[in-house]
Copies of this chain bind each other. A is one copy, B any other.
Amino acid sequence: MKERVVILGGGAAGPKIMAKLLRTKNYDCQIDMFTEENMISYSACGMPFYIEGLIENYRRLIVRTPQQFEEKGANIHLGKKCIKIIPDEKKVMLEDVNTKEISYADYDKLAVTTGARPFVPDIKNINLKNVFTLRKLEDAVNIKDTMLQSKKAVIIGGGYIGIELLEAFVVNDLHVDLIERSSHILSIFDDDMSDLIQQHIQNKNPEQVNIITDDEVTALVGEEKVEKVVTRNGKIIDTDMVIISAGVIPNTEIAKEAGIELGVHNTIKVNHRMQTSVKDIYAAGDCIENYHLVSRDYVWIPLGSSANKEGRCAAINIAGGYDTFPGILGSSVTRYIGFTMSLTGLTEKAARTHGFDVITTVTTKQDKAGYMPESENITIKLVADRRTQKILGAQAVGAGDADKRINTIASAIMADETVDDFLHLDMTYAPPYSTAIDPLLSAAIVMNNKLKEND
């Protein structure tokens, strides 16, 4: 008899599980996916670039349509929100988002891929028009439409999404005030690297961009639409629209209610096979806890790249195979108008928090032979442990090819290499691509010299 697989959520991990199960030979299953949204399997990461205007039609962000999955034999149920998981009866309770009608679905295996949703701070008059969060495809469409009629925007929160939307708005000639509660934008980076990023952003478009740190929006003002924002420090800023990109929270309330064990930040705890604490219930994607390979601690770093890997792992195990997902390094990248910011592993501050004997270096080099016209600077910060001499993490920012270096060193960190192992790496060299001693190897040599001085 066919196994019944129910998948809750249609973001990145859910469709990945479905696609992998549909391709798995020798596993005969009936797949039902339930989502409260009216679309599945679209690139949330692409939405800022759609808003910017780099992608004409939002439909290009759709990886696979419900029809494409249904043609392969899966059942996609749009507008159906799971409101309860009942593990004892191996069923889920569903509510139609329009009719509020209740229904049930039985499962043999359940995959919880309910993702995360924007965190909305406590701000007065948050329900005014032209105030947005960016999570669903329709949010992207609405933000773009409003942007095209706006001259001024306020972005609340300077994380990756905030910075990507800043690029989108600036390119579309808006004036933007970006308000960050902490002392630095992109606080996922160390402060010194975040300073470099902020300098670049400010210098690039000094007339158009105003970054405000150590402050937060307490109230919105307006009749119907938002017209002003008011901050704790007393700033009053005119605006045509407001974006709230102040972080996300995991959609795990139903999992918790069902008795599934939670981890950090209320994410779902899973083992290396993506199994939750409850039999036959798997989880993957933005709603789960991650194991960090360097700190060997549990973290929550929800990223599309991990969601896909976790989905693949969950699918193999759901289908009766055996696969493990070892964990993450937290590798990530974004850009702001020709300037790349990328990191992997632990920052200096994270490494200190975890008790490493931290040593760091910061080096700035040209990313290609200096005489090549396309040559640009990148600044690389390395973080290592003084005692084991192992590489703990790296951050790279600049107009140069930064993410290439981060992926190369991520591979070394994954392999638990020391700085001395790494600096002998045979990297490719030709003048349009790098320098004879790649900036990454230069950084490692500087770190090695510093480690030896400390011997």
Contact = CB atoms under 8 A, between A and B. Distances in A.
A304 B414 contact: no
B427 A369 contact: no
A226 to B, nearest CB: 29
Contacts of A307: 436
- Chain A contact residues (Cβ within 8 angstroms of B): what range? 35 or more
A222 interface: no
Given A304-B436, A328-B426, A436-B12, A46 B431 contact: yes
A309 interface: yes
Of A160, A305, A325, A401, most buried by chain B (CB within 10 Å of CB) is A305
Given A308-B437, A335-B432, A407 B424 contact: no
Interface string A416-455: 0100011011111111111011100100010000000000
Interface in A278-317: 293, 303-309, 312
Nearest to A306: B426
A329 interface: yes
Contacts of A111: none
A429 B301 CA distance: 13
Contacts of A385: none
A422 to B, nearest CB: 8
**Stoichiometry (number of copies):** 2
A334 interface: yes
Contacts of A429: 45, 303-305, 331-333
Interface stretch (A53-61, A91-99, A237-245): A53-61
Nearest to A55: B371
Given A332-B430, A403-B404, A309 B371 contact: no
Interface in A70-87: none
Contact of A425 (B61, B401, B414): B414
A24 to B, nearest CB: 11
B411 A425 contact: yes
A355 interface: no
A307 B422 CA distance: 17
B404 A427 contact: no
Contacts of A406: 428
A409 interface: yes
Contact of A411 (B160, B330, B369, B412): B412
A424 B43 contact: no
Given A436-B12, A436-B305, A45 B412 contact: no
Nearest to A293: B426
Contacts of A342: 428
A196 interface: no
Contacts of A441: 309
Contacts of A1: none
B61 A424 contact: no
Shortest Cβ-Cβ A-B pairs, 5 listed? A415-B415, A411-B411, A333-B428, A305-B429, A404-B404
